[in-house]
Amino acid sequence: MKRFVAIVALIALFSTSFLVGRATTPSPTGEDSLRSVFLYTEALKKLRIHRDTAGGEKLLKELLVNDSLYAPAYYELVTNNLASSPEEAVRWAESAYRLDTTNQWYHRAWGQSLLIAERYAEALPVYRALNELEPQDLDTYRILAALYQQNKQPYSAIAVLDSAEVHTGRHPYLSRMKRQLLIETAQTDRAIEEAKALVEEIPYEANNHVVLAELYGVQGNDSLARACYDEALKIDSMNIETLASLSDYFNKRRDIRSMLWVTRRLFQSDEISLDQKIRRFEIFTSNREFYRDNYFQLNELASILAINYPTNKEVVDLYAGHLIAAGQLEEALKHYKNHLSDTPTQKDYYLTVIDIESYLERPDSVKKYIAEGHARFPDDIEFHLAEGNVRYRMGNHIGAAMSYHKALKYANNDTLRSQIWGQIGDVYHAYGESSGILIGKLYQRDCYRAYKKALKYNPDNVLVLNNWAYFLSVEGKQLERALQMAERVTELTERNPTYMDTHAWILFRMGRLEEARQLMRQAVALDGQKSPELLLHYGDILHALGEQFMAENYWKKALDKGYDKAKIEERLALPPVEKPAPKSDSEPQKD
């Protein structure tokens, strides 16, 4: 339905120009005829010269009150309301036509208004009549065939298009429409004959050979299809329509090597936009197995983009991502460094270089590029945050805290301030854990102070609420407060295994074992049993519930996923716990 409406709307807009400025001048009759002519003339002035639609329509309606048989006034109302008020346009168009059935402009206006109002069943007889009156008009054939198709009468539509060829000759659009209808009605052989005739008439047009190739492909005659594609490529080896069709042909037959060969040609063409090329490359590389199996050809595509669009940021990132996916991290780093001098300077390139150098544990290089980033972007918060993240990752907790405090000066909204205070809290907690007991307690206190400031700026900072709740549960302190925070996190997030783990662990620490088990079971399932911490916690909860066999099973799974062996062995050495007796209905429930 939508496709048909779009086609018809386009045709109607194309033909609207014929509606304007051509109407039968009425023969004045009666003593009010001069008044009608005057109002009509004044209305046309307002509509055509002054572009005053409202004023012009007001005069036309006044005219019709004065003389309801004045057909041109109805016609003008149609042309000005065809898009905005299609139902009213239908009423006015029919009135104009009924008053003068010999006027083809009125007749066509009625048909077009019915199309715009989507009254296709009523439009069909109108266009049949127009077709008889104007057997040379291509638009009428086109619309009439579309109406038959809409009415699920494809054979009638084909008959209309056959008639068009008899009266007006062969036309590309109508021929294409006819071939599609022939395919839909399983008349592939006839569609092929039509395409052959088109090739014979215009053999030097590559697209005609492509049409025939596609039809042979539908028929399953691959040898003839390939021969037609070869003819099209001989005419124009870089024709976009030919290459796109050939690519689709190979793709349908799972001939990936040939499809990528054609795509290489498409990537070399300037007629295809860069956005289309990038989108196609991303589709190819979204499947890891496809990426691995066709790496060398995909590498050619990425290289073509890098050569032809050397400073385009999307292409720079695409090529770097391609190198990283292939495990060539050093090459990706070199690639980004080569673009640090691009104009305009790209901040993202510096941040990515810093991240890769940090990952490769090269502190001197990290320090160098952070300094360069600060010099080029002196007021940019991201380099202070990057510096803090790198220092945190390298265990320099005090230095990280200093960088984050500097970043606060450049934070321009509460959400960002909350995020930074949360990072400061994380740093203090990590430093406290790595220090002695006394210093650890001091920094634990500073951690919670930072979290409090973070929540002042954003009470729903999920990461802060989760971390604070978890740290309290580990300490075994303020468990009710920790539970409130964890519950808020699970309200704000949608089935996040990490946050569900925190919530379950707090319930476990509060002795609410069955609730903890249910929530942790969901967390482990959602996580796909990937996280060793979640598996360990689930094992601990099962152990407390007296389910020793299952507890040991999950502890061993945590060990397989990389959890500390000594801690797992400690748990495996624990004696079984007697299963808690089920609570009676009369026993009061604990909070």
CB 503 within 8 A of CB 486: yes
State the average pLDDT for the chain.
86
Q: pTM of the full predicted structure? A: 0.61
Q: Spell 22-37 as b/e; 16+ CB within 10 A means b.
A: ebeebeeeeeeeeebb
The residue-averaged pLDDT of 114-124 equals 90
Look up tokens 């066509």; give the residue: 108
Rounded CA separation 194/172 (Å): 11
pLDDT interval class at 368 (50, 70, 90): very high
Q: Given this model, what pLDDT does residue 14 score?
A: 36
pLDDT score at 8: 41
Cis peptide leading into residue 172 (ω within 30°): no
Alpha-carbon distance of 497 to 265, in angstroms, equals 46
Helix H or strand E encompassing 327: none
Does the pLDDT at position 512 exceed 90?
Answer: yes
Q: Does residue 82 contact residue 112 with C-beta atoms inside 8 Å? A: yes
Tokens of 546: 């007296």
Q: How much is the pLDDT for 258?
A: 92
**Average of per-residue pLDDT across 150-168:** 85
Question: Helix axis angle, 172-184 relative to 206-219, nearest 10°?
Answer: 0
Q: Which residue has the higher pLDDT, 577 or 314?
A: 314
Q: What is the pLDDT of residues 402-424, one digit of tens each?
A: 999 999 999 999 999 999 999 99
Whether the pLDDT of residue 590 is over 90: the answer is: no
Cβ-contact 40, 73 below 8 angstroms: yes
Weakest-pLDDT range from 280-294, 301-315, 407-421: 280-294
pLDDT band at residue 538 under the 50/70/90 scheme? very high
Residue type present at position 227: A
Residue 155 buriedness (CB in 10 A; 0-12 / 13-18 / 19+): exposed
Write 312-321 long-range contacts (CB < 8 A, 24+). Answer: 312/274, 313/346, 313/348, 314/274, 314/278, 315/274, 315/278, 316/342, 316/346, 316/349, 317/348, 318/278, 318/281, 318/282, 320/352
Confidence of residue 433 (pLDDT cuts 50, 70, 90): confident
What tokens were used for 436?
Answer: 């002695």
Number of CB atoms found within 10 A of residue 65's CB: 8
How many Å apart are CA 228 and CA 192, to the nearest integer? 12
Is residue 517 pLDDT above 90, yes or no?
Answer: yes
- Calculate mean pLDDT across residues 438-452: 82
- In the chain, what percentage of residues exceed pLDDT 70? 92
For residue range 45-58, what is the model confidence (pLDDT) as tens digits?
888 888 888 888 89
Condensed to tens digits (0 to 9), the pLDDT of residues 76-110 reads 888 888 778 888 889 988 998 899 888 989 999 88
* Cβ burial, residue 516 (10 Å; 0-12/13-18/19+): buried
Give the highest mean pLDDT range of 43-57, 429-443, 569-583: 43-57
- Find out whether 110 and 94 touch, Cβ atoms under 8 Å: yes
Say yes or no to pLDDT of 172 above 60: yes
For 293, the 3-state DSSP assignment is helix
pLDDT of 359 higher than 80:
yes
Mean pLDDT of 534-562: 92
Tell me how many helices (H) and strands (E) the chain has: 33, 0
* Residue 16, pLDDT score: 39
CA 343, CA 341: separation in Å to the nearest integer? 6
Rounded average pLDDT over 287-313: 92
Query: What's the pLDDT tens digit per position in 239-281?
Result: 888 898 899 899 888 999 999 999 999 999 988 899 999 999 9
Give which of 342, 366, 368, 340 is closest to 355, Cα–Cα: 366
pLDDT at 85: 87
* pLDDT at 458 > cutoff 50: yes
pLDDT at 488 over 90: yes
For residue 416, give both structure tokens: 């960002």
